[in-house]
Amino acid sequence: MRRTPDDNTRVRRCILATIACFLVAIRADAAEWTSLRTEHFLLIGDASPRAIKDVALRFEQFRAAVASAFPVLADSRPGPPVIVIVFRDQRSYEPYKPKFNGKTVQVGGYFLGSRDVNYITLAADSGGDDFRALYHEYTHLLLQRISANLSPWFNEGLAEFFSTFDASGNTARFGRPIESHVGMLRERQMHVPELFAVTQQSTTYNEGDRRSLFYAQSWLLMHYTFVENRDRWKQLVQFEQFVERGATPDAAFQQAFAMPTDSLDKELLTYVLRPAMRVQVVELNQRVVNRLQTEPVRVAETEAHARLGDLLVHAARYDEAAPLLNAVLKTTPDLPLAHAAMGRMLLRQDKRADAMTHLERAAAAPTADEFVQFYYGAALLERGSGQQSGGDADVGKAIVALERAVQLHPGFTDADRLLGYAYLYMDDASKARDALRRTLDQEPGNEEVILMLAEAYIRLAQFTDARDLLGPLVGRAANSATKERARDLLARSVGVEQQQQLRTRLATESATSQPEPTPEPPIAPPPGRRTSTLIPAFRKLEAGETRTYGLFTEVECTRQQIVLHVRSSAGMLLLRAVRFDAIDFISYRSTTPGTISCGARRPAEDVYVTWRSDEATFPSGSSQGIVVAVELLPDGFVPAP
Ligand SMILES: [Zn+2]
């Protein structure tokens, strides 16, 4: 049979179809990346858009359910983003699974937290128990935002409790009994005094068998109080608050529960021996589902790879991150995320100059986010403030980047904290104060911030505010270096205040004659800068000598003698000498003083004057002693109160 053109067409069609099928096959195999932004998560993955949406819904529902069960966690303050990477299957997930000692750990999902971004990774075929670990970690993340100092049993207990989340339709449930915990606790228990004594540093918290028991017992305590006995729950929360405020567990327990601890032990044992436990049911708002109406959008593969590179950087897997990021930058030289990830990696490897190049490019991009600005600012600040001199330009640029970060993300505490430091460095005490106050609002109790804020207050002459912060810190700081710094600052605030009062008094006294030029208030060295404000090795006192701090105001010269006027807190000291060269003038000032000559000294200088009492007879009032030495004090020196 002769072939008709129709046949030919048909053949061609068939060939085209085969090619098409083939192409489709390849496309299905090559990664197709999509991304979905929900209210609290950013999802990205090579899993199907359907699977990505399912994962998004699970996490949003989990968050909503936790917040409705424990409303204090319904915190809407902005925090570091939570990025969920959904791999289409285990094969695609394999290279990004966590590693331990170079070997891949077979997990169905894991959580990688850090201060700037939190990563959750999983595969579309990950199962129920994989989610348990993720819900557990995500609960920690939510808890961290209400307090940085939660007790381990509280933190782990709630994380375990909430980890058993599941939902169908608009009904969510928490508290399905965890078999391994129940089994263990029916055999042995950890008594509450031991449970409450566990700290982050205890071996119980970090070693095998006791660790499992600790988790199980913490879970049981939460389950019992949260689901079964709400009065106990209220007492437990109260107890935790007392402990956080510094009470000993013993005292706090008595105050909150007013019963012996073994009563609670008995209640817990009875509870775990029961054949069944109730679960907590939470009705979810349909809005959680409705808000998820948008569809995932395609993202370029290079962008997805930059994200994976950033994940590896955050896992400190630089050997794997570098080739991936280099390949991305070869094809897409301007991709901000790739530059940012590269910059972060190089920073962590101490390759500061190279890091700066990448961060600069990342920060210049109009799409640069707050974290890029933050990293760039932090790197500049470290470089600038580490220099002996000439660091101001870097610190100035750092301020611009950090201000931008705070502008993009109000409430970005880390950026505010660094801004406070940078402003202090630039002697802008009032801006430092504002940034540090914002930081302290978000992180009450952060000791480093308290010290810097007190420093700003002292420079602004807000001595009461400074002392209100420092006093409690001296009392409760656990770290001896912090305690020491707080004590030093407290002493300095008293010293600076005295110095200022002296100047004010002097100004009032001389107001009738010539006005005293208002001197600069003494400025203490900012942290990390001008550390060269020396504490001089003062002249040694000899027998019979007295040293007094004061303001050197005048040299009165007559034919027979000279009389130095030094205003001390006790009043005006008049000290005589026969000649100038009988006085030992010592200067610790960075600028060489002019010659000391007769007449008023304007402005009056901070001095230590050393003198002996005067046995010769002089008209009363004309001299209280014989001057031995005058030590001119350095800028920023504050006398001991
Ligand atoms: Zn945990």
Distance 84 CA to ligand 1 centre (A): 19
What pLDDT, on the 0 to 100 scale, is given for residue 599? 83
Distance 598 CA to ligand 1 centre (A): 74
Query: Does 1 have pLDDT greater than 50?
Result: no
Half-sphere exposure (Cβ direction) of 364: Cα atoms closer than 13 Å:
9
Distance 157 CA to ligand 1 centre (A): 8
Distance 159 CA to ligand 1 centre (A): 6
The pTM of the whole model exceeds 0.75: no
What pLDDT, on the 0 to 100 scale, is given for residue 109? 87
What pLDDT, on the 0 to 100 scale, is given for residue 25? 42
Distance 72 CA to ligand 1 centre (A): 19
Query: Does 31 have pLDDT greater than 80?
Result: no
What pLDDT, on the 0 to 100 scale, is given for residue 602? 79
Picking from 533, 507, 503, the residue whose alpha carbon sits closest to that of residue 521 is 503
Query: Does 522 have pLDDT greater than 60?
Result: no
Distance 71 CA to ligand 1 centre (A): 20
Across the chain, mean pLDDT equals 85
Which amino acid does the sequence have at 327? A
Distance 46 CA to ligand 1 centre (A): 29
Token code pair at residue 224: 């019992």
For residues 591 and 355, the model is more confident at 355
Distance 332 CA to ligand 1 centre (A): 39
Distance 409 CA to ligand 1 centre (A): 28
Distance 111 CA to ligand 1 centre (A): 11
Q: Rounded mean pLDDT of 155-182?
A: 93
Distance 236 CA to ligand 1 centre (A): 19
CATH number for 545-632 (one of 3.40.1000, 2.40.50, 3.30.420, 2.60.40): it is 2.40.50
Q: Rounded mean pLDDT of 342-365?
A: 92
Q: Secondary structure of the chain: what % helix, strand, coil (to 5)?
A: 55, 15, 30
Distance 226 CA to ligand 1 centre (A): 18
What pLDDT, on the 0 to 100 scale, is given for residue 10? 47
Distance 216 CA to ligand 1 centre (A): 12
Distance 625 CA to ligand 1 centre (A): 71
Name the 3-class secondary structure at 167: strand
Distance 318 CA to ligand 1 centre (A): 26
3-state secondary structure 88-114: CCHHHHHHHCCEECCEECCCCEEEECC
Query: What is d(CA 575, CA 555) in angstroms, rounded to the nearest whole number?
Result: 10
For residues 22 and 483, the model is more confident at 483
Q: Rounded mean pLDDT of 154-160?
A: 94
pLDDT band at 506 (very low <50, low <70, confident <90, very high): confident
Picking from 345, 408, 349, 419, the residue whose alpha carbon sits closest to that of residue 380 is 419
3-state secondary structure 555-609: EEECCCCEEEEEEECCEEEEEEECCHHHCEEEECCCCCCCCCCCEEEEEEEEEEE
Query: What is d(CA 635, CA 621) in angstroms, rounded to the nearest whole number?
Result: 32
Distance 101 CA to ligand 1 centre (A): 22
Distance 80 CA to ligand 1 centre (A): 19
Burial class (CB within 10 angstroms; exposed 0-12, middle 13-18, buried 19+) of 87:
buried
Q: Rounded mean pLDDT of 191-200?
A: 90
Top mean pLDDT of 65-69, 267-271, 637-641 is at 267-271
Query: What is d(CA 154, CA 443) in angstroms, rounded to the nearest whole number?
Result: 19
Residues β-bridged to residue 112: 119
Top mean pLDDT of 64-73, 212-221, 275-284, 410-419 is at 212-221
Token code pair at residue 32: 């197709």
Distance 585 CA to ligand 1 centre (A): 65
Distance 188 CA to ligand 1 centre (A): 21
For residues 477 and 311, the model is more confident at 311
Which amino acid does the sequence have at 41? F
Which percentage of the chain shows pLDDT scores above 90? Answer: 46
Distance 601 CA to ligand 1 centre (A): 66
Helix or strand (DSSP H, E) at 280: strand 280-283
Distance 630 CA to ligand 1 centre (A): 63
What pLDDT, on the 0 to 100 scale, is given for residue 458? 93
The pLDDT tens digits of the residues spanning 226-274 come to 999 999 999 999 999 888 877 889 999 999 999 999 999 999 999 999 9
Distance 186 CA to ligand 1 centre (A): 22
What pLDDT, on the 0 to 100 scale, is given for residue 430? 95
What pLDDT, on the 0 to 100 scale, is given for residue 524? 42
Distance 136 CA to ligand 1 centre (A): 6
Q: Rounded mean pLDDT of 453-470?
A: 92
Distance 439 CA to ligand 1 centre (A): 26
Distance 230 CA to ligand 1 centre (A): 23
Which amino acid does the sequence have at 429? A
Which amino acid does the sequence have at 329? L
Catalogue the long-range contacts made by 63-68 (C-beta closer than 8 Å, 24 or more residues apart).
63/138, 63/142, 64/172, 64/284, 64/285, 64/288, 65/165, 65/167, 65/172, 65/174, 65/282, 65/284, 66/139, 66/142, 66/162, 66/165, 68/282, 68/284, 68/285
For residues 223 and 552, the model is more confident at 223
Pairing of strands 545-557, 599-613: antiparallel
Half-sphere exposure (Cβ direction) of 140: Cα atoms closer than 13 Å:
15
**CB of 398 closer than 8 Å to CB of 422:** yes
What pLDDT, on the 0 to 100 scale, is given for residue 516? 47
Distance 478 CA to ligand 1 centre (A): 24
Distance 174 CA to ligand 1 centre (A): 17
Distance 156 CA to ligand 1 centre (A): 5
Distance 315 CA to ligand 1 centre (A): 18
Distance 81 CA to ligand 1 centre (A): 20
Query: What is d(CA 605, CA 634) in angstroms, rounded to the nearest whole number?
Result: 10
For residues 219 and 386, the model is more confident at 219
Top mean pLDDT of 79-88, 183-192, 584-593 is at 183-192
Distance 112 CA to ligand 1 centre (A): 12
Q: Which residues contact 339 (CB under 8 A, 6 or more apart)?
A: 329, 358, 359, 361, 362, 365
Distance 395 CA to ligand 1 centre (A): 38
Query: What is d(CA 167, CA 175) in angstroms, rounded to the nearest whole number?
Result: 12
What pLDDT, on the 0 to 100 scale, is given for residue 514? 55
Lowest-confidence region among 180-189, 369-378, 566-575: 566-575
Distance 256 CA to ligand 1 centre (A): 25
What pLDDT, on the 0 to 100 scale, is given for residue 2? 41
**CB of 241 closer than 8 Å to CB of 251:** no
Distance 535 CA to ligand 1 centre (A): 48
Query: Does 27 have pLDDT greater than 50?
Result: no
Distance 140 CA to ligand 1 centre (A): 7
Name the 3-class secondary structure at 42: strand
Give the residue extent of every domain in the chain.
1-30, 177-278, 545-632
Query: What is d(CA 494, CA 470) in angstroms, rounded to the nearest whole number?
Result: 12
**CB of 66 closer than 8 Å to CB of 162:** yes
Which amino acid does the sequence have at 566? V
Catalogue the long-range contacts made by 598-603 (C-beta closer than 8 Å, 24 or more residues apart).
598/555, 598/556, 598/557, 598/562, 599/554, 599/555, 599/557, 600/514, 600/553, 600/554, 601/552, 601/553, 601/554, 601/555, 602/516, 602/517, 603/516, 603/517, 603/519
Token code pair at residue 538: 């003062």
Which percentage of the chain shows pLDDT scores above 70? Answer: 87
Query: Does 605 have pLDDT greater than 50?
Result: yes
Q: Rounded mean pLDDT of 507-519?
A: 62
Distance 534 CA to ligand 1 centre (A): 48
Q: Rounded mean pLDDT of 118-136?
A: 89
**CB of 122 closer than 8 Å to CB of 86:** yes
Token code pair at residue 463: 């001595």
Distance 120 CA to ligand 1 centre (A): 15
What pLDDT, on the 0 to 100 scale, is given for residue 261? 95
Token code pair at residue 246: 């510094």
Q: Rounded mean pLDDT of 573-579?
A: 85
